[in-house]
């Protein structure tokens, strides 16, 4: 049946957490060999399905789109340290980095959807007791401000991403404090990046045109710096995050293919850095997907940037308005997604 649009306004509870951080920031996957699942097959039946995958229904461009593909989703949230967790409803912690790994087991493709932290989206805003008090349109990073626990905050951001993507269900969510990037960088032996614009205000070594093997301290600077650098926009920071993420992914996957124990050892080094909530620890499925499926790279949404006093605090803030056509194109790069026929759902109503 077609999803109720009001479902956007409900907070998603019970999200499982643990895998995408491995791909994006190097937190290890358990190899399939260790799990004893070398010959597991993926698809719409057998180990990972019952032969009747649910229909994915998305509302984009004021139209309903459907897909019969077998989809898996993994959301990674990189948070700042602006707030202090006192167990209160408002933590002051924002989602600086948001990326969704979308895997289609039918087309055997996967891709990373990088979401601008300033993306404007409708979200539920709670009162101090945690009850949904209103629906507001704000930057998606603010969704992680709410919640008394880490799980609550992840749930609010997951709900906001679901809304942005037309009610796309998110299976798994993982959060990592951006201050832990140095630990990830250390565990994988450092990441070499190209300095594409002058960043010497951040670090003297970050000269335009230079190639730098990042130290742990430099890694955090490289992916987080924004104010006082270039034009000071989040788009510039996202470009650096994209480069770092791609380099980490390549390093981790290359090592994993050569050494079955590499990912296990990496996981042990980075335990406790990623919030894992209620997630399962069976990572063999994702390992197989990433090593055998066709990667579509890091996909970005297009849209318009405006500057406005969104929060009513007298300050100007970036607002990014995503083009729904862009969301549709990115999703269709990975999955079979078509506009629903006019008579769709009539049989269910009968």
CATH code of the domain containing 193: 3.40.630.190
Cβ–Cβ under 8 Å, residues 169 and 14: no
Round to the nearest angstrom and report the end-to-end CA distance of the chain. 11
In a domain, 302, yes or no: yes
Residue 219 domain-assigned (yes or no) = yes
What pLDDT does residue 234 have?
Answer: 78
pLDDT by residue for the chain (350 residues), tens only, comes to: 334 433 333 333 232 223 334 344 433 333 333 333 333 333 333 344 444 557 999 999 889 999 999 999 999 998 886 555 566 677 768 898 899 999 999 999 999 999 999 999 999 888 887 787 789 999 999 999 888 888 889 999 999 999 999 999 998 888 888 888 888 899 888 999 999 989 999 999 999 999 999 999 999 899 888 767 777 787 888 889 889 888 888 888 888 777 766 766 776 777 778 776 665 445 667 777 888 899 998 899 999 999 887 777 777 888 999 999 999 999 999 999 999 998 887 655 45
| Residue 28 DSSP code | P
Beta strands 56-60 and 317-322 are unpaired
Beta strands 274-275 and 95-104, pairing class: unpaired
Assign 16 to helix, strand or coil.
Answer: strand
348 lies in a domain?
no
What's the confidence (pLDDT) of residue 177? 85
| b (16+ CB within 10 A) / e for 242-256 | bbbbbbbbebbbebb
In a domain, 207, yes or no: yes
Alpha helices for the chain (secondary structure H): 20-25, 32-35, 150-164, 181-187, 216-224, 234-258, 262-269, 284-292, 324-334, 346-349
pLDDT for 264 equals 65
Q: Which residue range(s) make up the domain with 83?
A: 5-342
Domain annotation covers residue 350: no
Domain count, the chain: 1
Q: Is residue 347 part of a domain?
A: no
Burial of 283 (0-12, 13-18, 19+ CB in 10 A): buried
Task: Extract the tokens encoding 176.
Answer: 């990592």
Which residue is it, tokens 């009162």?
127
Token pair in block for residue 39: 């010959």
Predicted local confidence at residue 278, as pLDDT: 61
């Amino acid at each position: 049946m077609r999803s109720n649009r009001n479902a956007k306004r409900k907070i998603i509870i019970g999200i499982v957490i643990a895998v995408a951080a491995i791909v994006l920031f190097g937190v290890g996957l358990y190899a399939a060999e260790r799990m004893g699942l070398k010959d597991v097959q993926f698809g719409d039946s057998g180990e990972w399905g019952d032969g009747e995958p649910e229909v994915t229904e998305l509302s984009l461009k004021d139209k309903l789109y459907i897909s019969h593909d077998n989809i898996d989703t993994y959301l990674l949230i990189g948070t700042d340290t602006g707030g202090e967790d006192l167990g209160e409803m408002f933590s002051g912690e924002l989602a600086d980095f948001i990326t969704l790994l979308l895997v289609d087991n039918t087309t055997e493709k996967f891709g990373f959807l990088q979401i601008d932290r300033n993306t404007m989206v409708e979200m539920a805003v709670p009162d101090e007791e945690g009850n949904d008090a209103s629906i507001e349109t704000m930057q998606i990073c603010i969704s992680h401000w709410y919640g008394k626990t880490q799980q609550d905050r992840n749930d609010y951001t997951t709900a906001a991403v679901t809304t942005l993507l037309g009610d796309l269900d998110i299976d798994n969510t993982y959060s990592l404090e951006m201050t832990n990037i140095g630990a990830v960088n250390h565990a994988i032996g450092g990441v070499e990046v190209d300095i594409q614009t002058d960043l010497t205000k951040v670090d003297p070594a970050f000269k335009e045109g230079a190639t730098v093997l990042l130290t742990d301290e430099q890694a955090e600077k490289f992916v987080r710096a924004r104010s006082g650098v270039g034009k000071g926009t989040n788009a510039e920071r996202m470009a650096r995050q994209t480069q770092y993420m791609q380099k980490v992914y390549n390093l981790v996957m290359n090592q994993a293919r050569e050494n079955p124990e590499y990912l296990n050892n990496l996981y042990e080094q980075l335990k406790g850095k990623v919030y894992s909530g209620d997630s399962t620890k069976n990572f063999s499925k994702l390992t197989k997907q990433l090593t055998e499926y066709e990667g579509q790279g890091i996909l970005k949404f297009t849209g318009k940037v405006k500057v406005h006093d969104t929060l009513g605090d007298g300050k100007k803030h970036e607002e990014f308005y995503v083009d729904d056509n862009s969301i549709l194109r990115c999703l269709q790069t990975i999955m079979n997604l078509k506009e629903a026929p006019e008579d769709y759902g009539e049989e269910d109503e009968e």
